A and B are shown apart, each in its own frame.
Chain A
Amino acid sequence: MQKIGVFVCWCGSNIAATVDVKAVVDAVSHEPGVVYATDYQYMCSEGGQSQIRQAIKDFGLTGIVVCSCSPRMHESTFRKTAISAGLNPYMVEIANIREQCSWIHKDREDATEKAIILARTAVAKLNLNRPLTPGESPVVKRALVIGGGIAGIQSALDIAEAGYEVDIVEKSPTIGGKMAQLDKTFPTLDCAACILTPKMVDAASNENINLYTYSEVEDVSGFVGNFTVKIRKKARSINADICSGCGVCTEKCPSRKAKDEFNMGLSNRGAIYIPFAQAIPNVPVIDREQCIKFKTGKCGLCEMNCPAGAIDFKQQDELVERQYGAIIVATGFKPISLENFDEFSYSQCPDVITSLELERIMNAAGPTKGKLLRPSDNTPPRTMVFVQCVGSRDTSGCGKTYCSKICCMYTAKHAMLIKEKYPDIDVHVFYIDVRTPGKNFDEFYRRAVEEYGVNYIKGMVGKVAERNGKLLVQGSDLLADDQIIIEADMVVLATAIEPDESARNLATMLTASIDTNDFFTEAHPKLRPVESPTAGVYLSGVCQGPKDIPETVAQASAAAAKVIGLLAKDKLRSNPCVASSNEMLCNGCSTCENVCPYGAISYVSKEIRSAGKMEVRRVAEVNEAICQGCGACTVVCPSGAMDLKGFTNKQIMAEVDAICR
């Protein structure tokens, strides 16, 4: 018989305001096995924990039930308390009477009744608990970073700096990501390329970093400390080992129809191309859908002109399989499609552009060599209108419900840069709210207004229409209670951002969770912001939520620190709540083997004594290092041979009985 102590937490008023904690203590103290029950204001505080330790010693408790918040919050806290008092940590049960009771109920009587049921359920289960000892699993000392933008690069550099090997997988032909496309960065206005390209070079030259560009993750299996990842290296059609990056091929290529992705489609590129001058690796790639040789079989000009003989039209995709201890997701973002926002005439007027397109136009290496010119007729604009919150904060279903966070600042930056370079241009900004929390951010925005005379108009644009080569921008000026029409030459839309389209598929592969907007979910919004709920998977940059470059870099380094902490361990303690098979009951049917998502079950022939005779039987065996304790096998086993330690069939039934009593 167990000797059980029950500890009911008030959680300040979180629980105590809705649940009569004394009544719970009273009711549960009559349960079988319970020898001690008490309540305390904050069980997780040092005072609460020392009460638990004292009670374990004083009453010789063999197990404890803590009625408190979700086990995701403090189960590990109370397990540590148990260990320090000499109790096996798996003799601790948590009854969640906060998230699953006090927070969701209003009626005190009902909530108290439910809390009592939850408490006695935990007691019923604990009566059948057995001490468990975790096993150990090795850690592969190598990390994978998915995404080679500033987030991925920073994480990889930090991990490499700590002495661990790290691979970056980037789906496009070069690392650098969205930051490489930017002109200047707020609030200091230093040029993006000047601060990014040295980091790209560092990543490429660091001997601990290995780049897989033009590659994608195809499959992920395994678990924390020991992931197996399949990476598809798409065929560049170039032998990267002998290519010198001279670029002759890109000049000779006669195909010029493809839109240049790096310039946001504002210029064309060849079928064989290097995305931009500072691309890493500086190796071209053939776009097979555009290449005349691939389409018609004739051409091959690049091959004829390549001095190194590096062109390889027959190159195939290559599949690489590698082991990793930890994975960082850094898949970033893209601007949303504007198809639901016809009122801004984006698809009809070439002079209505997105902010990212403006970045390219302002960039010295961009399609206009940095000159501000209208895409329609290459003339300089005289009046420019910026529209904020295009598709952000939109609950109508056309856009995104969240604030994209970066637009207020980059719009102020654009306005200021234009005023600085072309003081004669009139710049108007339509805004709903100007949101500039951040170091030196509000000062930056005010400089645009006060020093540069940018005209900020509180209101939203309702319509943009083209007339005689001008753009008529009709919007409201709420502070003047007026509707105004501005004759503009260019309109710039601060387009909302959304996670890259690869996020959803990747989340499935990693069994990491994403929210309704496809942003990766963190393990805890405040206390574990760079970890995914899936052990060994970490988050870096905008894939987790909109953020600017300083925040992205900070998060990237934080994720790297978490990975370094993991890789520094030689062994990981594994979860002892794993499946085990009773070989006397197993009938060798293989159902469990087929259903196991981790490949943890195999069948062996074993000599077994049955009814006084020895016979050889085919029985299931669980690899405890691989089993994740999901319990699928226990459900499908027709003979009841499979059981999950810590969550045995008997324990579950005891819980059900306690609830139904």
Chain B
Amino acid sequence: MYTAEREMTENVLRISNVNTRKCMKCGKCSGACPAFDKMDIHPHQFVSMVEKGDIEGLMNSKTLWSCLSCFACVERCPRNVEPAKLIEAVRLSVIRKQGENRLKADDIPVLLDDELPQQAIVSAFRKFSK
């Protein structure tokens, strides 16, 4: 594994506090997932790709944005691997990388419209300013 790859993997493991080595590849996560059909990388594959260090591939996957965070996989995993936490960690890695397109306070007035809930702006501001 290259240094950059390793760093990204370690970062994901640190954020999620998941030990991918505990996985025994039973596939119960993918058997339980209600969003399975919307995903290009399925929960059990997600775990093994983190283990292999392919975070780049995961950051570009549809799965990040189709996972409902319903935690069915976490609840039912017999080995306590917690795949949803890994997905969230990669999601955060994507968000935190977007330093260049950071939302600035000055940009907000343009975005304001009556339909948009104020909370959406607050959370967008919070997410993109990290």
Give A residues with C-beta under 8 Å from B: 343, 389, 393-399, 430, 432, 458-463, 474-476, 478, 481, 483
- Give chain A residues whose Cβ lies under 8 Å from the Cβ of B26: 389, 432, 459-460
| B31 located at the interface, meaning its Cβ lies under 8 Å from any Cβ of chain A in the complex | yes
| B24 located at the interface, meaning its Cβ lies under 8 Å from any Cβ of chain A in the complex | yes
Partner of B30, one of A398, A430, A432, A459: A459
- CB pair B30–A395 under 8 Å, yes or no, is no
- Give chain A residues whose Cβ lies under 8 Å from the Cβ of B31: 430, 459-463, 474-476, 483
- CB pair B28–A462 under 8 Å, yes or no, is yes
| B102 located at the interface, meaning its Cβ lies under 8 Å from any Cβ of chain A in the complex | no
- CB pair A483–B78 under 8 Å, yes or no, is no
Question: Would you list 14 pairs from A and B whose C-beta atoms are within 8 A, ordered by A residue?
Answer: A393-B79, A430-B31, A432-B24, A459-B30, A462-B28, A462-B30, A462-B32, A462-B33, A462-B76, A463-B72, A475-B31, A476-B44, A483-B33, A483-B37
Measured CB to CB, the closest approach of chain B to A465, in angstroms, equals 12
Partner of B28, one of A397, A458, A460: A460
Measured CB to CB, the closest approach of chain B to A144, in angstroms, equals 39
Which of B30, B33, B37, B72 is most buried by chain A, counting CB atoms within 10 A of its CB?
A: B30
| Cα-based distance from A463 to B32 in the complex (angstroms) | 6
| Cα-based distance from A474 to B32 in the complex (angstroms) | 7
- Give chain B residues whose Cβ lies under 8 Å from the Cβ of A476: 27-31, 36, 42, 44
Measured CB to CB, the closest approach of chain B to A68, in angstroms, equals 36
- Give chain B residues whose Cβ lies under 8 Å from the Cβ of A475: 27, 31
Which of B27, B29, B42, B45 is most buried by chain A, counting CB atoms within 10 A of its CB?
A: B27
| Cα-based distance from A458 to B33 in the complex (angstroms) | 16
- Give chain A residues whose Cβ lies under 8 Å from the Cβ of B24: 393, 432
Main secondary structure of the interface of B (DSSP, over half): helix
- CB pair B36–A483 under 8 Å, yes or no, is yes
Measured CB to CB, the closest approach of chain B to A36, in angstroms, equals 51
| Cα-based distance from A459 to B29 in the complex (angstroms) | 10
Of all chain A residues, the one with the shortest Cβ separation from B78 is A394
Measured CB to CB, the closest approach of chain A to B105, in angstroms, equals 44
Count the B residues whose beta carbon is within 8 Å of the partner chain — how many?
Answer: 22
| Cα-based distance from A483 to B42 in the complex (angstroms) | 9
Of all chain A residues, the one with the shortest Cβ separation from B72 is A462
Partner of A481, one of B33, B45, B77: B45
| Cα-based distance from A458 to B36 in the complex (angstroms) | 17
| Cα-based distance from A593 to B30 in the complex (angstroms) | 64
Contact with A along B56-72 (1 / 0, CB 8 A): 00000000000000001
| Cα-based distance from A230 to B63 in the complex (angstroms) | 64
Give B residues with C-beta under 8 Å from A: 22, 24-33, 36-37, 42, 44-45, 72, 76-80
Of all chain B residues, the one with the shortest Cβ separation from A484 is B31
A393-B24, A395-B22, A483-B37 known; A478 vs B30 contact (CB < 8 Å): yes
- Give chain A residues whose Cβ lies under 8 Å from the Cβ of B79: 393-396
- CB pair A395–B80 under 8 Å, yes or no, is yes
Give 4 closest A-B pairs by Cβ, nearest first: A462-B32, A462-B31, A460-B28, A476-B27
A463-B32, A474-B32, A478-B44 known; A389 vs B27 contact (CB < 8 Å): no
Partner of A478, one of B27, B33, B77: B27
- Give chain B residues whose Cβ lies under 8 Å from the Cβ of A461: 28, 31
- CB pair A459–B32 under 8 Å, yes or no, is no
Measured CB to CB, the closest approach of chain B to A498, in angstroms, equals 16
Measured CB to CB, the closest approach of chain A to B29, in angstroms, equals 8
- Give chain B residues whose Cβ lies under 8 Å from the Cβ of A463: 31-32, 72
- Give chain A residues whose Cβ lies under 8 Å from the Cβ of B37: 483
Measured CB to CB, the closest approach of chain A to B26, in angstroms, equals 4
Measured CB to CB, the closest approach of chain A to B37, in angstroms, equals 7
- CB pair B72–A395 under 8 Å, yes or no, is no
| Cα-based distance from A186 to B33 in the complex (angstroms) | 35
Measured CB to CB, the closest approach of chain A to B18, in angstroms, equals 13
- CB pair A396–B32 under 8 Å, yes or no, is no
- CB pair B77–A396 under 8 Å, yes or no, is yes
- Give chain A residues whose Cβ lies under 8 Å from the Cβ of B32: 343, 462-463, 474
Of all chain B residues, the one with the shortest Cβ separation from A395 is B79
List 19 extra interface pairs beyond A393-B79, A462-B30, A476-B29, CB under 8 A: A343-B32, A389-B78, A394-B79, A395-B79, A396-B77, A396-B80, A432-B25, A432-B26, A432-B27, A459-B31, A460-B27, A461-B28, A461-B31, A463-B72, A475-B31, A476-B27, A478-B25, A481-B42, A483-B36
- Give chain B residues whose Cβ lies under 8 Å from the Cβ of A460: 26-28, 31
- Give chain B residues whose Cβ lies under 8 Å from the Cβ of A389: 26, 78
- Give chain B residues whose Cβ lies under 8 Å from the Cβ of A462: 28-33, 72, 76
| Cα-based distance from A474 to B27 in the complex (angstroms) | 12
- CB pair A395–B27 under 8 Å, yes or no, is no
Of all chain B residues, the one with the shortest Cβ separation from A479 is B27
A463-B32, A481-B42, A483-B33 known; A343 vs B27 contact (CB < 8 Å): no
Of all chain B residues, the one with the shortest Cβ separation from A481 is B42
- CB pair B33–A398 under 8 Å, yes or no, is no
Measured CB to CB, the closest approach of chain B to A457, in angstroms, equals 10
Measured CB to CB, the closest approach of chain B to A392, in angstroms, equals 8
- Give chain A residues whose Cβ lies under 8 Å from the Cβ of B25: 432, 478
Of all chain B residues, the one with the shortest Cβ separation from A430 is B31
A395-B22, A459-B30, A483-B36 known; A343 vs B44 contact (CB < 8 Å): no
| Cα-based distance from A463 to B29 in the complex (angstroms) | 10
| Cα-based distance from A403 to B26 in the complex (angstroms) | 14
Which of B26, B72, B79 is most buried by chain A, counting CB atoms within 10 A of its CB?
A: B26
- Give chain A residues whose Cβ lies under 8 Å from the Cβ of B42: 476, 481, 483
| Cα-based distance from A355 to B31 in the complex (angstroms) | 21
Of all chain A residues, the one with the shortest Cβ separation from B42 is A481
- Give chain B residues whose Cβ lies under 8 Å from the Cβ of A432: 24-27
- Give chain B residues whose Cβ lies under 8 Å from the Cβ of A395: 22, 78-80
| Cα-based distance from A563 to B80 in the complex (angstroms) | 44
- CB pair B44–A396 under 8 Å, yes or no, is no
Which of A396, A461, A463, A474 is most buried by chain B, counting CB atoms within 10 A of its CB?
A: A396
Which of A343, A432, A460, A461 is most buried by chain B, counting CB atoms within 10 A of its CB?
A: A460
- Give chain B residues whose Cβ lies under 8 Å from the Cβ of A458: 27
- Give chain B residues whose Cβ lies under 8 Å from the Cβ of A478: 25, 27, 30, 44
Measured CB to CB, the closest approach of chain A to B78, in angstroms, equals 4
- Give chain A residues whose Cβ lies under 8 Å from the Cβ of B22: 395
- CB pair B30–A343 under 8 Å, yes or no, is no
